[in-house]
Chain A
Amino acid sequence: MKEFIEFIEYIISSYKLIINLLADHLRLTAMSVGLALLIGIPLGILISYVKRLKKPVLGVTNVIQAIPSMALLGFAIPFLGIGTVPAVTIVVLYSLLPIVKNTVTGITNINAETLESAKGIGLTRFQVLTKVQIPLALPVIMAGVRIAAVTSVGLMTIAAYIGADGLGYLVFSGIRTLNNNQILAGAIPACLLALFVDFIGNTAEKLVTPISLQTNSKQDKKQIENKRRNSLILLGISVIFIIAIFVLSAFL
């Protein structure tokens, strides 16, 4: 009980720092995932067209994932120095694999006859991609993005080790100074953030799944539409929450 009260006292005394670090953490994670999306999705689309690229690209991303994150962070220092840039770079590299992999899977797993018919009725290659392949692959791609986002939150915590801002700072400095309250003040928000990001990902995944592909469970279309509206509202609340954190951190 005493520990708990001490912990609360620590939180109250350093809430400004915690909120600032949380905002940094969010910002860096969002930046990394955003970059990973910008690189990963086009790369995934490209290699699902150019079969020869598939093996090498997926191979390289697999290797990156296999290297322990600590080691990769270590490698980054001699080349990129310490701070935000190397941290974001490493997190982007790590996030690429699930995004690329799921994009390729999503796009190549579409029924061949559906594609043939899209081509056969006179859609151009680009229209086949934008009107058929991407909409049908979107749920799978989104699942990859969700995995990438959740991993990024965790990795960003570790990246504090090489000087990136974020909740990891509290964890590492807590370890150095043997301050359990500080460690927890970093670890608990980091965990909550990961769960929160997972929740957003999950909601977004459902939203991008075409209604027609959700009806298999014989649910009423109305019911699904209601659910979608609820999901949309939840997503809106989440966004407002994130903005609130940023605004708050700007004033503190």
Chain B
Amino acid sequence: MLEFRNIVKKFKETLVINDISFSVKKGELVVLIGESGCGKTTTLKMINRLIDPTSGTILINGEDIAKKDVISLRRNMGYVIQQTGLFPHMSVKENIEIIPKVSKINAKKIKDKTLELMEMIGMNPDEFLERYPIELSGGQQQRIGVARAFAMDPEIILMDEPFSALDPITRASLQEELINIQTHMKKTIIFVTHDMSEAIKIADRICIMNNGKILQYDTPENIMKNPINDFVSRFVGKNRIWSSPELIKVKDIMIESPITIQPKASLFQCMEKMREHKIDSLMVVELHTNKLLGIIKAKHIQPYKNRNIEVEKIMKKDFSHALPEESIVEVLKLINDTQESTLPIVNEKGCLVGLITKSSLVTTLSQPFVEQKEVI
């Protein structure tokens, strides 16, 4: 959909963008993030040609944008900046309709579109259309900015720190709304910010920039889990993952080689194995295939005087389990509901791949707090 090929930008002699290449898929929300002055705005403005690259090509649907008519390119691309982006002398209606009007779209269509957009951003047209920007709160102004960007039904929308000047609560609700709008409208959005939590919240993919270069371009999850270098991990913040636990997956924290026993083993062997590993339960798995058949606990064995019985006769077969791709939030719920202290993790084929216990969860979840203590 959108592709940067070896883009270099120099202002006079200073290199601001140092040979970047990346591409954005249709319908994706990509966040450009980095410290102030790293070249985010410059990168964004090259897409609507407010800035021309020194060398390199930018393609939209395979076409070089340098060869397109710049006015129609911009009209078919939304552009949202901070509050100052609205025209102070025009009413909300005039602000939203300016480009459709100069593009000579028919009046009825414009009117319907404006009403539709007001609904999209959740603002009452009767109340707000005739107001001027100065009569709106910061959050409302930004909503109008977003509505204006959608007025021409563009494929691509560019946003340069649109929510940065807002208070945290308003910002959070606008982020939510953007996600909502995005799921319905499926636009390709390039969003610039310097706020990592904002990026994690809204991005499909995050592009971390520094000194005019792209350091890492990946999903929020992967960036948090596998920061490519120290800069990225510092930037992401070491404990960032803990503020979005839904991104932590079972496979990230499970015990990978749980202690197992085969179904034909005797209860005596079970007790021995538990003693040896200082645990109170075992996973009963089929030999060779590792298919999980049941769970045996020390307290289940206790009533049986005859310790030669095969474990498969008394093991618990109706156990709850989780998949490795599930988030730990789900697992926490499951453990809470079932009051089980151990939860086997099985893959789609039913084979045992790991184990989560209450104590391993506690260890994982307490990690950031324990670490912080050490720092102090």
Stretch at the interface among A44-52, A83-91, A175-183, A205-213: A205-213
Give how many A-B residue pairs fall within 8 Å (CB-CB): 75
Per-residue CB contact flags for chain A residues 125-136 toward chain B (1 = under 8 Å, else 0) read 001000110011
A121 close to B88 (CB less than 8 A): no
Q: Are B134 and A114 in contact (CB under 8 A)?
A: no
Binary A-proximity of B67-98 (CB < 8 A = 1, otherwise 0): 00001111111110110111111110000001
A117–B133 CB distance below 8 A: no
Q: Quick check: B71 and A122 within 8 Å, CB to CB?
A: yes
Closest CB in chain A relative to B41 CB, distance in Å: 10
Whether A212 pairs with B50 at a CB distance below 8 angstroms is no
Interface size grouping (class) on chain A: 20 to 34
Determine whether A13 belongs to the interface, using a CB cutoff of 8 Å to chain B: no
* Distance to closest chain A CB from B79 (angstroms): 4
Residue A215 at the B interface, CB < 8 A? yes
Cβ of A121 and Cβ of B98 under 8 Å apart?
A: yes
* Chain B hits for A121, CB < 8 A: 74-75, 78-79, 98-99, 148-149
B82 touches A118 (CB 8 A): no
A223 at the interface (CB under 8 A from B): no
Q: How far is the CB of B84 from chain A (nearest CB, A)?
A: 4
Q: Is the CB of A113 within 8 A of B132?
A: no
Judging by beta carbons under 8 Å apart, are B102 and A123 in contact? yes
Q: B281 in the interface, Cβ–Cβ < 8 Å? A: no
Please give, as numbers and ranges, the residues of chain A lying within 8 Å of B252 by CB-CB distance.
none
A120 at the interface (CB under 8 A from B): yes
Nearest CB in chain B: distance from A23 CB, A: 37
- The residue among A117, A135, A213 with the most chain B CB atoms within 10 A of its own CB is A117
Using CB atoms, name the residue of chain A closest to B73: A122
The answer on a CB contact under 8 Å between A210 and B99 is no
Tell whether, in the assembled complex, residue A111 and residue B84 are in contact, meaning their CB atoms are under 8 Å apart: yes
Cross-interface CB contact of A210 among B48, B88, B98, B148, cutoff 8 Å: B88
For residue B135, CB closer than 8 A to chain A, the reply is yes
- Is B88 a contact of A212 with CB atoms below 8 Å? yes
Interface residues contributed by chain B, number (CB under 8 Å) = 32
| In contact, B98 and A117 (Cβ under 8 angstroms) | no
A116 B81 Cβ-Cβ under 8 A: yes
* Contact status A215-B132, CB under 8 Å: yes
Would A116 and B50 be within 8 Å (CB), given that A122-B71, A132-B87, A215-B135 are in contact? Answer: yes
B300 CB, min distance to chain A CBs, angstroms: 69
- List the B residue with the shortest CB-CB distance to A221: B135
For B98, the chain A residues whose CB sits under 8 A away are: 121, 123, 131
Q: Is the CB of B74 within 8 A of A120?
A: yes
Instruction: Assess whether B48 is in contact with A212, with CB atoms less than 8 Å apart.
Output: no
Q: Bound complex: CA of A52 vs CA of B132, how far in Å? A: 36
A111 to B102 alpha-carbon distance, docked (Å): 22
Which chain A positions have C-beta within 8 A of B133?
212
Tell which of B79, B82, B134, B135 touches A120, judged by Cβ atoms closer than 8 Å: B79
Beyond the given pairs A123-B99, A210-B89, 14 more chain A to chain B contacts, judged by CB atoms under 8 angstroms and listed by A's residue number, are A113-B84, A114-B85, A114-B88, A116-B81, A117-B86, A120-B45, A120-B81, A121-B98, A123-B102, A124-B71, A212-B90, A212-B91, A212-B133, A213-B88
6 contacts between A and B (CB under 8 A): A114-B88, A119-B74, A122-B77, A123-B98, A131-B102, A213-B89
